[in-house]
């Protein structure tokens, strides 16, 4: 259960992020409880300002929320370079390295973060830490699981597949792959760990987002805002 204090802090970060939305934008929209909270504020702004916006959702959940609120939805096929990504996260350090993927949508979330002209991540004060430490989400090709598990075990990293509460067996991503989490303890080198994990054949994506946003907005306990500007790592072409 999320406390009212945390909800208010999230609200503050969301409202600040919405200041960066301009009429006519194509916006990639993330997944999770914070983003679900954001939909109502976005709908209100669109109606009040009579804005024409198009949204690219990163999951079925986000797509349904956007459509239920009367917001226009499209895809990267029509708009391969969104103007802006707005997304939340599970944990961030003060250097702008982020762990995402608690909702299992990190593959598409990383795609739109790389594709977008500008990326803003929002969260409450509980998500900001000195050093990343929560388990890292992984999306794993089903047939590759024995290999991936063996290699991670040899690296002394413990992989736990996510178990479903609604059916027997593991949780499957929207892409038809396994979802798991690997505990790496405190992460000294997020980019290095991301590269290492993705070098293992069968790991399709990780929840490590090393400096992939331009700005992180944190809602504080008193509803004030902390903005962290980041030298975003872009794809080198």
Helix (H) or strand (E) holding 112: helix 106-115
Q: Cβ(37)–Cβ(7) under 8 Å?
A: yes
Mark whether 227 is an active-site residue. Answer: no
Scanning the structure block, which residue is given the tokens 């702008």?
96
Rounded distance between C-alpha atoms, residue 171 and residue 104, angstroms: 9
Query: Would you give the DSSP letter of residue 78?
Result: T
Cα radius of gyration (the chain): 18
Cβ neighbours of residue 186 under 8 Å, at least 6 residues apart? 131, 132, 133
Choose the catalytic residue: 4, 19, 109, 143: 109
Concatenating the DSSP letter of every residue in 146-183 gives HHHHHHHHHTT-EEEEPBPSSSSSB-B-TTS-EEEEEE
Rounded distance between C-alpha atoms, residue 73 and residue 62, angstroms: 10
Residues acting as catalytic residues: 109
């Amino acid at each position: 259960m999320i406390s009212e204090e945390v909800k208010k802090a999230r609200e503050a970060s969301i409202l600040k992020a919405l200041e960066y939305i301009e009429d006519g934008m194509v916006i990639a929209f993330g997944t999770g409880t914070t983003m679900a909270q954001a939909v109502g504020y976005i709908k209100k702004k669109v109606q009040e300002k009579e804005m024409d916006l198009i949204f690219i959702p990163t999951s079925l959940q986000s797509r349904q929320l956007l459509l239920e609120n009367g917001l226009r939805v499209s895809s990267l096929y029509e708009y391969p370079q969104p103007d802006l990504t707005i997304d939340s996260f599970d944990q961030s350090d003060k250097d702008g390295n982020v762990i995402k993927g608690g909702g299992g949508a990190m593959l598409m979330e990383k795609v739109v973060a790389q594709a977008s002209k500008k990326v803003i991540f929002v969260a409450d004060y509980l998500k900001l830490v000195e050093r990343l430490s929560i388990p890292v989400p992984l999306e794993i090709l089903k047939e590759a699981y024995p290999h991936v598990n063996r290699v991670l075990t040899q690296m002394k990293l413990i992989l736990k597949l996510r178990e479903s509460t609604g059916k027997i067996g593991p949780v499957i991503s929207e892409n038809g792959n396994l979802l798991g989490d690997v505990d790496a303890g405190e992460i000294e080198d997020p980019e290095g760990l991301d590269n290492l994990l993705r070098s293992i054949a069968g790991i399709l994506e990780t929840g490590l987002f090393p400096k992939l946003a331009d700005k992180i907005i944190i809602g504080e306990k008193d509803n004030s805002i902390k903005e962290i500007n980041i030298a975003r790592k872009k794809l080198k072409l």
